[in-house]
Structure 1
Amino acid sequence: MWNILKDHSIDPAPERQRTTRATFLRSQTILSADFFETETLTGATLYVLAVIEHATRRVLILDTTAHPTAA
C-alpha cells in the first residue's frame, strides 16, 4: 500500500489523535428508543414510549397511554 501511495505522490494520512469514549459519544447523535409497560400505585398498567439521547444521557418520555392499540 505504501508503494502505491508513494508512486502516485500521495502523502500518508496524518496520525490521528485518539479520542475517549465520552468524547466520541458527545460527537455522535445516537438515540435509542424503548417501549415498555409500568404499573402505577393504583395498579393501572401504563405503556411508555421513551428515547435516550446517548450524548447527553437525557431520557425523553414521548408518550404514555393506558390503551396502546386504541385509536
Structure 2
Amino acid sequence: MSSVIVSLLYKVTRKLLTVPSVLLRRETVKDAELLVLRHENVVLRRQLAGPVRYEPADRFWFAALSGLLPRRHWLRVFPVTPGTLLAWHRRFIAAKWDYTARRRTGRPP
C-alpha cells in the first residue's frame, strides 16, 4: 500500500515540476538546482552526528528533481552519483509494475 502512495506522489510531483519547466526552461533549471541544494542541506542538518542516510522521501525528491536538470549538471548538483539517481528512479518506476499484492500462493481455487 505504501509503495502505491509513494508511486502516486512521485508521479504527481513529476507532473507538477514539469509544467514550469516547459514555460521557463532556464529559470527552472536554476530553481531546480537550488531546490536540490536546499534539500541536501536539510538532510545534512538532520544527520549532523553520523553518516548521511537518505530516507525514501529524500530519494523520491532527488529522483523527481533529476528530470528537470540536464544530465551534464548532475555531477555538479546532486550529492550522489548519476548511477544512484537512475537506480532510485528505476525503483520508483518499477514499484508501479510490482503486483505482489495480487499474487496468490498455494493451490489455485
Per the normalisation by structure 1, the TM-score is 0.20
Name the structure where helix makes up a greater proportion of residues.
2
Using CA pairs under 8 Å that are at least 6 residues apart, name the structure with larger relative contact order, 1 or 2: 2
**Going by fraction, where is strand more abundant, 1 or 2?**
1
Give the structure with higher Rg (CA).
1
